[in-house]
């Protein structure tokens, strides 16, 4: 009999899959790998969708995705990794929400799925096939989960809220310009 059970194997598969996808998305933003824009291209895109300053937004999103994804895959610092990734995906979901739910229509389905899976892994824990377990859960304590989610939620609310205000001011300015013509 082995010391690992189906739950540990299932958590490993979820962590590797979700963490790998998140890490790849972050690498697109940070390094331009896998057809991504790198910091400069992603920064310009971030500015165009209301996240400013664009370069800083690209760096933050890239680090949350690449760092959170890598840590999730390894099962290391799982509460912080899952919260960071979930926060980044909440920001991505805000961009896609006006397009509806389904990804094929530009909706938030994909970002929400990644974010919810990352959050679920943070809450559930990494399982025994993880670095957290191997290191005696020194960076996976019970108190870390609410702290990590509180920090990620606060950062997400501030960032998405600032984007919403920027977009609203931009629309109001466009409407005023139309009336002046």
Asked if residue 47 is part of any domain, the answer here is yes
For the cut 90, the answer to whether the pLDDT of residue 102 exceeds it is yes
**Domain presence at residue 1:** no
Structural domain contains residue 82: yes
| Confidence band, pLDDT 50/70/90 cuts, at residue 173 | confident
| Counted domains in the chain | 1
| 100 domain residue, yes or no | yes
3-state DSSP of 75-119: CCCHHHHHHHHHHHHHHHHHHHHHHCCCHHHCCCHHHHHHHHHHH
* Cα 152 to Cα 12: distance, rounded to the nearest angstrom: 24
Q: Is the pTM of this model over 0.85?
A: yes
In a domain, 117, yes or no: yes
Residue 64 burial (10 A CB sphere; 0-12, 13-18, 19+): buried
Q: Classify residue 165: in a domain, yes or no.
A: yes
First to last CA, the chain: 79
* pLDDT(1) > 50: no
Determine which helix (DSSP H) or strand (DSSP E) holds 151, and give its type and residue range: helix 144-180
Q: What is the pLDDT of residue 181?
A: 66
Residue 16 lies in a domain: yes
Query: Does a structural domain hold residue 129?
Result: yes
* 111-169 per-position pLDDT tens digit: 999 999 999 999 999 999 999 999 999 999 999 999 999 999 999 999 999 999 999 99
d(CA 26, CA 33): 9
Range of the domain at 142: 6-180
Q: What is the mean pLDDT of residues 65-80?
A: 98
| Cα–Cα dist 66/19, whole Å | 8
C-alpha–C-alpha distance, residues 4 and 134, integer Å: 13
Report how far residue 113's alpha carbon sits from residue 119's, in angstroms, rounded to the nearest whole number. 10
């Amino acid at each position: 009999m082995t010391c690992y059970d189906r739950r540990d194997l299932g958590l490993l598969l979820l962590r590797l899959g979700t963490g790998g996808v998140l890490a790849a998305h972050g690498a697109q933003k940070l390094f331009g790998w896998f057809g991504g824009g790198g910091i400069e291209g992603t920064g310009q895109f971030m500015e165009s969708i209301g996240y400013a300053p664009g370069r800083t937004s690209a760096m933050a999103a890239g680090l949350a995705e690449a760092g959170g994804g890598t840590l999730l895959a390894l099962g290391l610092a799982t509460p912080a990794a899952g919260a960071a990734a979930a926060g980044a995906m909440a920001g991505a979901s805000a961009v896609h929400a006006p397009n509806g739910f389904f990804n094929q229509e530009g909706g938030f389905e994909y970002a929400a799925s990644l974010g919810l899976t990352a959050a679920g892994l943070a809450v559930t824990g990494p399982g025994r096939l993880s670095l957290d377990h191997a290191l005696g859960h020194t960076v996976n304590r019970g108190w870390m989960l609410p702290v990590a989610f509180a920090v990620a939620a606060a950062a997400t609310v501030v960032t998405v809220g600032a984007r919403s205000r920027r977009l609203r001011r931009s629309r109001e300015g466009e409407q005023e310009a139309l009336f002046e013509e």
